[in-house]
Amino acid sequence: MDSEQEILRANSLYHIYESNAEDGNVVALRGLSMTMYEGEAVAVVGPSGSGKSTLLKCLGGLMKPSAGSVELGGKRMTRLTGSDLVKLRQETVSFIFQDSNLLPHLNAIDNVAQPLIHQGVLARPARKKALALLERLGMAERAYGMPEELSGGEQQRVAISRALITDPKLILADEPTGALDPITSREVLDLFRQLHKEEDVAFLLVTHNREVASFCERSLELREGRFIAQHGTDVDIGDLSDSRELIVDDSGTVSLPPDILLKIGGPGRFEMKEIERDVMNFERVDEEKVEVTSENKFVLSPTCPACKHEYGESEEQQCPSCGSSRPMVQA
Ligand SMILES: Nc1ncnc2c1ncn2[C@@H]1O[C@H](COP(=O)(O)OP(=O)(O)O)[C@@H](O)[C@H]1O
Ligand SMILES: [Mg+2]
């Protein structure tokens, strides 16, 4: 890492999707904090429904979290609105989604040029830069193809070129290889790896696939809307969901496994009364409970929603009978 400049910081993010349906509100994020530095590649790994897309949208300013704050390039994004927010976003981040989201009526080169033109750059220089990027990604011959004429892998290359054209400091990618076959998916990942090495672009890659996570230096494991563990390269993600370790990363962030969090009474503010080397005691500050959870107490669901398995006294996170991850429900 050539610099320790912070590019992204999230502080205690909560997000609740309000709903009138009978199953009520969905708490998609439950107090997430994270920091990313310039040029870093970080993966967020978690099963479907764990809150990955919600997190990415909050981090990239596409959605305002219910509580908590996001700083992008040192600026408090959650305080900005309207054109200030759009400007900060345009200057700093680009998104890549699972389906490439290309504009169907524009050819590849115009799709790539579009963010620059949107920023007020003239069409000719924008197209020139777009073509150079497409060439770089091995797409020179398809530069005038329409999206529907391109294969999934080619479309994703166009989407990557489009993401790169504004020279973002950070690329937020939501399951970027999710719609691709394994071979094309590996090609796209190799591209990411190369861009990450050569351009020092920071990547935050959201995925349920650990092969995809393997090119990142760090991965954060998301379960039921919070990080349950953090791992460096070479750690087998599959080994960690049962881990009882409390991990403190180098930014000082502590990740608790969800059942431990449950045992201590859920998220909140804690006071450290005793601190010594290697030992720390903390106690909940009662009057300072986090606002969005003060009325809602969540516990591990007593039954598996998929196969109706009864968990009984067990605190397992995964259903032993069908493998579904165990949700939290309102007490
Ligand atoms: N627009 C929405 N309205 C209501 N609930 C939503 C909405 N989007 C996502 N959710 C719920 O929030 C939780 C997290 O979803 P999401 O962030 O899409 O997870 P992931 O990307 O990990 O699959 C899920 O329980 C999902 O059903
Ligand atoms: Mg998703």
| Residue percentage of the chain with pLDDT more than 70 | 82
Beta-strand runs (E) in the chain: 6-17, 26-37, 41-45, 67-72, 75-76, 93-96, 170-174, 202-207, 218-223, 226-232, 247-248, 254-255, 270-276, 279-284, 298-300, 328-330
Going from the Cα of 57 to the center of ligand 1, the distance in angstroms, rounded, reads: 11
Q: Nearest residue CA, atom 5 of ligand 1?
A: 17
Rounded Cα distance between 65 and 78, Å, is: 8
pLDDT (0 to 100) of residue 210:
75
Neighbours of 160 (CB within 10 A): 26
Whole-number Å distance, alpha carbon 53 to ligand 1 midpoint, is: 7
Q: How far apart are CA 156 and CA 177, in angstroms?
A: 8
Helical spans, DSSP H, in 257-304: 258-263
Q: Is 100 left (phi over 0), alpha (psi -120 to 50) or beta?
A: alpha
Report the 10 Å Cβ neighbour count for 136: 17
Q: Is residue 172 over pLDDT 50?
A: yes
- Band (pLDDT 50/70/90 cuts) for residue 250 is low
Q: How far is the CA of 50 from the centre of ligand 1 (A)?
A: 8
Of all protein residues, the one whose alpha carbon is nearest to atom 14 of ligand 1 is 51
Average the pLDDT over 159-178 and give the result.
92
Say yes or no: CB of residue 54 within 6 Å of ligand 1. Answer: yes
- Decide whether any atom of ligand 1 lies within 6 Å of the 63 Cβ: no
* pLDDT value for 79: 85
- Tens of pLDDT, residues 39-95: 888 999 998 999 999 999 999 988 999 989 999 988 898 888 888 888 888 889 999
CA of 27 to the centre of ligand 2 (A): 15
Pocket probe mutation, ligand 1, options 17, 58, 95, 99, max atoms within 8 Å of Cβ: 17
